[in-house]
Structure 1
Amino acid sequence: MQTVIKIKDLCKKYKKRYILKDINLEIEKGVITGILGQNGSGKSTLMKIISGIEKPESGEILINGAEPGISTKSQVAFLTENNQLYDWMNINDAIKFHQDFFEDFDAQKCGKLIDFMDLSENYKIKKLSKGMLQRLRLSLTLGRNASVYLLDEPFMGIDTITRDKIIKAINSYYCEDSCILITTHLISEVERILDRVAFISDGNIALTGDCEQLRYEKNQSIEDMYRKLYV
C-alpha cells in the first residue's frame, strides 16, 4: 500500500514537558487508523502537527512526501474538537462557506451525507443539538475530497444513536484513496471500523499494529488491550 503519512522520531514539548516523544508511525492509503489513549496522552497534539497547526520540536513528518505546510493543508480535512461554525448560519450557509473555502469540497457528496445524517439544509446552526451539530460537522469534513481525514474525538459528549450514525457515515462515505485517523478513548464504539491502531501513553507509542493481527496474537479485543494498558 502507498504510504500517505510518514512520521519519524517526532518530538513535541510544551515548556519543559514532552507531550510526544520519539513517535514513529506510517499511515497508508485506504486505512482507518485509531489513535487511542487517555485524555492528555498527546493524541490531539499529534493531530494538530499532522494538520500543520503546530510544529514538532524535532523529528520528521511527511504527508505524501511533503512537510506539513501550505501545500499539505489543501490535502488534509480536520474535524477538531471545537465548533467553528457561526450561529447565524443555517446548514445551507455552512455548505456554501465550505464550498467557497475549500477547492476540494464536494457539495453533492456533502448533501448525501447530510441526508444520511437526518439533517435538513434549512436547519439553523444555533438550534442544533450537540449530536446534530457533530453530525453536520462530520458531513462537512467528509464532504471534502481530501487525502487525509483527521477526526479528533468525534464521539465526545454525544448519544449512542449519534455515535452509531457517525460510525456508519465514516465507514460508508470516506474515499478509499485517502486515509482516516480517529482519536478517541471510547474504544467499544469505534473498534469495528478500525484497520490499524496506535496506542499512545505518556507521549510514546505503547503498541501499534493491524487490528486483526493484534486480536489474533493477544487473543483480546482492542478494547481489552486498551484496558490493560491504561486501567
Structure 2
Amino acid sequence: MIEFKGVTKTFGKTTALDDLSLVIPEGKIVGVLGPNGSGKSTLLKMIVGLNKPNGGEVLIHQQKPNTETKSHISYLAEIDYLYGWMTIQQAADFIKAFYTDWQEDKYRDLMKFLELQPSMVIKKLSKGMRAKAKLLLSFSRNAKLILLDEPLSGIDILTRDKIIETIIKDYRAGDQSILITTHEIQEIEGILDEVIFIRQGKVALQGNVEELREEHQASLIEIMKEVYWYENIK
C-alpha cells in the first residue's frame, strides 16, 4: 500500500503537490488522471524517490522510499532516458545488471509481441518504436509495482493499442500494482480498476471506476469534465 500523508512539493514558487493525502490500494491498475501540470508526474517521482517532499511523508508498505522499496519498482519515465547508441539488447543487459527480478523468458516473449529486434539501435527507432522499447524494458522485470508516466503521449493510435495490450498481457491482478499517469483517458478507461483525479496538486476525486461510472452515469471522460468544470467555477 502506498500512502501520501500531507505531502507538499514545491519547485521554486511552483507548488506541484499541495498538502496531498491519499491511499493507493495494492493489486490494482490505477489511473492518475488530470490535465498537464496538475502534479501527476511529481506524484510518481515521489513514490520512486526521485523527488523528496518539502512537507509530509510518502510511505510504501510503511517505509519511506529507499533502496529496498526501489528494488521492487519498475519506473517508466515520460522523458526518453535510453542511450541512443545502445541496441535494445545492450539496454536490456544494462538494466538487468541492476535488478535481480529480470525475467529473460518474459523479455524474449515481449520482444516478439512488440515486434522488436535485439539488434535495433535505439537512436534509429521511430518515436513509437522507442516507446515500445521502453515498455519492453519496464515489463521484462517481475516488479511488484509498475509506474508508467504518460506512456501514450505523442504515440500513434496503433502503437497505443499495442502498449495497452502489453500492460494487461501479463498483469498479475491482486499481486501486482500498476499506476498510470495520463491525460489520454479514453484509451485506458477499459483497463482501470481505480482512478485518482489530480488538480493543482490535490485530489479532486478518487474511487473505483465501476462505482464512479454507476454513480455519475457517465464515462471517465465525462466525469473528468464534470470534476474540472466544477472545480473551475468554485
TM surpasses 0.5: yes
- Counterpart mapping for 1:163-178 below 5 A: 163-176=160-173, 177-178=175-176
Q: 1:49 aligns with which of 46, 51, 75?
A: 46
Ranges in structure 2 where 5+ consecutive residues have no aligned partner = 230-234
Q: Which range moved further: 94-103 or 73-82?
A: 94-103
Per the TM alignment, residue 227 of structure 1 is displaced from its structure 2 partner at its CA by: 2.0
Q: Percent identity?
A: 46
Per the TM alignment, residue 77 of structure 1 is displaced from its structure 2 partner at its CA by: 0.9
Q: Could you list the per-position Cα deviations for residues 31-63 of structure 1 after superposition, in whole angstroms to 9, with x for gaps in the alignment?
A: 000000111000011111011000111112111
Query: Letter of the aligned partner of 2:204 in structure 1?
Result: A
Q: Kindly tell me the number of residue pairs found equivalent between the two proteins.
A: 228
- Counterpart mapping for 1:83-94 below 5 A: 83-94=80-91
Per the TM alignment, residue 192 of structure 1 is displaced from its structure 2 partner at its CA by: 0.5
Query: Letter of the aligned partner of 1:141 in structure 2?
Result: S
Give the aligned partner of residue 112 of structure 1: 109
Per the TM alignment, residue 15 of structure 1 is displaced from its structure 2 partner at its CA by: 2.2
Query: Letter of the aligned partner of 1:183 in structure 2?
Result: T
Per the TM alignment, residue 138 of structure 1 is displaced from its structure 2 partner at its CA by: 0.8
Give the aligned partner of residue 232 of structure 2: none
Q: TM-score w.r.t. structure 2 length?
A: 0.93
Q: Which range moved further: 11-20 or 144-153?
A: 11-20
Give the aligned partner of residue 195 of structure 2: 197
Contact 2:205 2:227 in 1 (8 A): no
Q: 2:98 aligns with which of 91, 98, 101?
A: 101
Give the aligned partner of residue 12 of structure 1: 9
Query: Letter of the aligned partner of 1:214 in structure 2?
Result: L
Residues of 1 paired with 2:172 and 2:74: CA distance?
Answer: 12
Please identify runs of 4+ aligned residues in structure 1 that moved more than 4 A.
none
1:65 aligns with 2:62: yes
Q: Could you list the per-position Cα deviations for residues 9-45 of structure 1 after superposition, in whole angstroms to 9, with x for gaps in the alignment?
A: 2111122432111222222222000000111000011
Per the TM alignment, residue 226 of structure 1 is displaced from its structure 2 partner at its CA by: 1.4
Per the TM alignment, residue 174 of structure 1 is displaced from its structure 2 partner at its CA by: 2.8
1:31 aligns with 2:28: yes
Contact 2:127 2:155 in 1 (8 A): yes
Per the TM alignment, residue 65 of structure 1 is displaced from its structure 2 partner at its CA by: 2.0
1:229 match: secondary structure: helix
Residues of 2 paired with 1:194 and 1:123: CA distance?
Answer: 32
Ranges in structure 1 where 5+ consecutive residues have no aligned partner = none
Query: Letter of the aligned partner of 1:97 in structure 2?
Result: F
1:151 match: secondary structure: strand
Root-mean-square deviation (CA, aligned residues, Å) is: 1.3
Contact 1:38 1:230 in 2 (8 A): no
Contact 1:152 1:183 in 2 (8 A): yes
Contact 1:12 1:21 in 2 (8 A): yes
